[in-house]
Amino acid sequence: AALETSLRAGLQRGEVEIYLQPVVDAERRVVGAEALARWQHPERGNVPPAEFIPLAEQCGLIHQLGGHVLQAACDQLVRWSRSPASSTLKISVNVSARQFHQADFVRQVTDIIDRSGARADLLKLELTESVLLDDVEATIVKMTELKAHGVCFSIDDFGTGYSSLAYLKRLPLDELKIDRSFVADVLTHPNDATIVRTILALAQAFSLDVVAEGVETEEQRQFLMQHGCALFQGYLFGRPVAVGQFELTGD
């Protein structure tokens, strides 16, 4: 309860900000970034998202926190739009189950986009398989409304949940993100290599982009490239950094 009170206050005081982690293409050009929430508490220091995101979900602050993250992402898109070198970069934002299932989620997102002046097609929402399958019909309605507004969608941590192929076909998706647990073992565990190749083939069949997450070594990058992966995220290219620290090259 103490942490909840300070998160509520911290949100108001602007202690929660976004960090950006680059997403790069096969030539290591930065094509976008994932926004990751960071909470800098005045006494506790950096509180990890693994602690405060579940807390925000439990106590209902996720709506406000999620809105704050969306706002920060849209503000950054607007800043980037002013320079040709950055005007086509996309930002992905994580959306948690409880936030997505709020009755006014679509309105929250479209209001923030419209008031910020950001290009909706440069904003990508990352949903997990469990969110998508919670209530498939309601999910399709929400996603379709947001898609009509221009917003893009990605399935995060893909391969760890229970997506059925039938749903994949019905959802207005743009991208799958291969969970980093598979990438971590892709060179050492044949099963993980098979899962990665299967996800890449599946994505190709459904005309979806694929981002491999958690790429840490050149050897992992080579394997992924050889099997048709074209987008990468991970410490090999850049850690999450404050928006002012973000650079337009992936080393």
Q: How many residues at the interface with ligand G, by CB under 6 A? A: 22
Least distance in Å: CB of 83 to ligand G? 25
Six token digits for residue 123: 């904003």
Query: What residues contact residue 227 under an 8 Å CB cut-off, 6+ apart?
Result: 196, 197, 200
**Residues 78, 59 contacting (CB under 8 angstroms):** no
Q: Which is nearer to Na ion, 129 or 213 (CB)?
A: 213
- Structure letter (DSSP) for residue 29: B
Adjacent-strand bridge partners of 90:
32
In the chain, count H helices and then E strands. Answer: 11, 10
Would you give the DSSP letter of residue 97? H
The CB-of-20 to Mn ion minimum distance in angstroms stands at 12
The 188-227 site mask, x for binding ligand G (CB under 6 A), equals -------------------------xxxx-----------
Using an 8 Å Cβ cutoff, are 139 and 132 in contact?
A: yes
Indicate the residue among 21 and 139 with the shorter CB distance to ligand G.
Answer: 21
Per-position x/- string for 107-136, each x denoting binding to Mn ion as judged by CB under 5 A, each - no binding: -------------------x----------
Q: Tell me which residues in 135-174 interact with ligand G (CB under 6 A).
A: 156-157
d(CA 60, CA 39): 17
Nearer to ligand G, 159 or 168 (CB): 159
Is the distance from CB of 95 to CB of 65 less than 8 angstroms? Answer: no
Binding to Mn ion by residue 179, rule CB under 5 A? no
Lookup result for tokens 């998202």: 49
Question: Which amino acid type is present at position 82?
Answer: R
Q: How many whole angstroms separate alpha carbon 86 and alpha carbon 83? A: 6
**Can you tell me which of 6, 21, 76, 116 binds ligand G, judged by CB under 6 A?**
21
Q: From CA 153, how far away is CA 172, in angstroms rounded?
A: 7
In terms of CB distance, is 142 or 170 closer to ligand G? 142
Q: If binding is defined by CB under 5 A, does position 157 make contact with Na ion?
A: yes
Chosen from Mn ion, ligand G, Na ion, none, partner binding at 72 (C-beta under 5 to 8 Å by type) = none
Q: Based on CB atoms, which residue is closest to ligand G, 8 or 170?
A: 8
> How many angstroms separate the CA atoms of 82 and 208, rounded?
29
Please report whether residue 24 would count as binding ligand G according to CB under 6 A.
no
Minimum separation from the CB atom of position 84 to ligand G (A): 28
Instruction: Provide the binding-site residues for ligand G, judged by CB under 6 A.
Output: 21, 36-37, 48-50, 53, 66, 69, 94-96, 156-157, 180, 213-216, 234-235, 240
